Every structure is written in structure tokens, then in C-alpha cells.
Amino acid sequence: MLDNPCLRALLWVLGLVSPTLCRLRKRLTASPGIPVDDPCPSYWMSPPSRIAKHGSDATVPTYADVVIIGSGITGTSVARAILDEETVVVVMLEARDTCSGATGRNGGHITPVLYQDYSELKKKHGAEVAGEIVRFRLSHLDELLAVASEENLLEESQCRETRAYDVYQNPSLYRNAKKLLEVFKRDLPVEGSDMEIVEDRAVLQELQLAPSVVGDTGEAIEKISFEISSADAYAVYEY
């Protein structure tokens, strides 16, 4: 698309009058680079999954209706959605092992950013759109559980609901987080109904938190995490 000289000229002109478009143009035209030869191994990918090398010995097909680059949660979600609707040839390319990028390096925790972003989203887009973004992020939790269930992977992946905590050791950051949470709960009472601020020292000790913790913002609604091995993580993301 960016080989079109008219489009390139238009982006250049728009970049002169808009710093945002200028940054966008640079990102669109920048080379993504190639994977390094000696990546840092992921703790979550050891031992390797049984599908870590899936297809690595196969000949790359000469034809495909859709080519997906990357075998993480994004690429896999796209592939699954396409194949659920269409009978097409999909080829997924991966530079290294299956699910070896960011998806295989986050420990399996699915914790959407909610109250932390809401005030800024509201400022930029308005309360209605900010609320829609929050609900969209929350929808991923139920969707991932549903996918794991549909693929009979709940037991193997240990995909389940649990409780997440945002812990603060900096008083200033904690006070700011409390303000953000208060705004979130006021504007989105349904989405924030299970969120609470925990300051009881006895409760903090039960959570085995360090004495230096100044308070704890616990989001019960952000309560899905995968406490799983790397092989189980692959089972969730790769079919």
C-alpha cells in the first residue's frame, strides 16, 4: 500500500501539519526487523510444548488464501475466527517455536487494564466510548474461558477465574490509583461492583504481602489468570 506514490506524498504532506500523523507515517514505513539469533529463553516455555516444533519440517505451501504471521494469541484468534466462518487455506508462519513471542512470555495472566486507563479514555473519547472500551476488554475474559471449554482444554490449561491485586509500595502512586478507581466505580457501577480497596493490615498479612505495602487495590472483576505450565499455555493458544 505504501508503494503507492500518491499515498506516500499525501502522508508526507499530512505529516507536516500533524505530529501524530508524522509519527504514524514513520511507524508504517519502518522495517519491523527480523528476529535475533539468540533470544532470551522464556521461563514459561520450559519444558517445550509438544507442539513447539509443529510444522517446522514441512514444506511451506505454495498457495494460501490467508497468511498469518505469528502464532501467539492474536494470530491464533484470527485463524480460529476465519476457519469458523470460511473453508479457506490458512498458513501460519512463525519465526521460532510455536507461541514463542509475547504470548509465551507473560505467565498466562489475563488481566485487562480497566480503572487505570478509564479516566484517560474518558478524557480523549468521552464517557460512552470509554465505557464501551472497558466492556470490550472485559469480554475477553469470558471469551477465553468459552474457547478453552469449546476446545476441551479447561482441565489441561487450568484456565479459571481467580483474584488479581494491584499492590503499591509508593504512597503517591497508591493515592492516584485510589482516585482512578473511585472515578471508575462512580461512572461504571456494574463493571466496578466487585472492585474494592483493601487497606486492612490483617488482610494484607493474609495475602503474604511485604510490610512496605502501603495499600492494595484488589480488582475481583479482573480475576482470570492462567497459573499453568508452558505446555498448557500452548494448549490454550494453539489448536
Q: 98-102, 131-135, 180-184: lowest mean pLDDT where?
A: 98-102
- Residue 12, CB-side half-sphere exposure with 13 Å CA sphere: 7
Does the residue 135 lie in any domain? yes
Q: Distances in Å between the alpha carbon of 180 and those of 89, 176, 183?
A: 46, 6, 5
Q: Which three cell numbers stand for residue 177?
A: 490509583
3-state percent helix, strand, coil for the chain, nearest multiple of 5: 50, 10, 40
Does the residue 239 lie in any domain? no
Residue located via cell numbers 473511585:
182
Q: How confident is the model at residue 214 (pLDDT cuts 50, 70, 90)?
A: low
Q: What H or E segment, with its residue span, contains residue 201?
A: helix 201-206
pLDDT at 130: 97
Say if residue 18's pLDDT is above 80.
no
Assess whether 17 and 91 both reside in one domain. Answer: no
Assess whether 129 and 85 both reside in one domain. Answer: no
Q: Distances in Å between the alpha carbon of 145 and those of 150, 152, 157, 236?
A: 9, 11, 10, 10
Does the residue 221 lie in any domain? yes
Tell me which residue range forms the domain holding 62.
Answer: 45-105
pLDDT at 224: 27
For the chain, what is the domain count? 3
Q: Identity (one letter) of the amino acid at 119?
A: S
Assess whether 84 and 132 both reside in one domain. Answer: no
pLDDT at 91: 95
Residue located via cell numbers 527480523:
34
pLDDT in tens, 172-201: 888 899 999 999 999 999 999 888 888 877
pLDDT at 3: 59
Does the residue 40 lie in any domain? no
Q: Distances in Å between the alpha carbon of 89 and those of 86, 144, 168, 178, 181?
A: 9, 24, 49, 50, 46
Q: How confident is the model at residue 116 (pLDDT cuts 50, 70, 90)?
A: very high
Query: What's the rounded mean pLDDT across residues 6-15?
Result: 71
Q: How confident is the model at residue 160 (pLDDT cuts 50, 70, 90)?
A: confident
Does the residue 237 lie in any domain? no
DSSP SS3 for 203: helix
More confident residue, 128 or 28: 128
Assess whether 26 and 55 both reside in one domain. Answer: no
Judged on CB neighbours under 10 Å (0-12, 13-18, 19+), 233 is: buried
More confident residue, 20 or 99: 99
Q: Distances in Å between the alpha carbon of 54 and those of 38, 51, 57, 91?
A: 20, 5, 8, 13
pLDDT at 218: 44
Assess whether 185 and 153 both reside in one domain. Answer: yes
Strand partners, 91: 67
Q: 169-178, 201-210, 228-237: lowest mean pLDDT where?
A: 228-237
Last residue of a domain, one of 73, 90, 105: 105
State the chain's mean pLDDT as an integer.
81
% of the chain with per-residue pLDDT over 70: 84
Q: Identity (one letter) of the amino acid at 199?
A: E
Say if residue 236's pLDDT is above 60.
no
- Indicate the pTM of the whole model: 0.70
pLDDT at 112: 86
Say if residue 228's pLDDT is above 50.
no
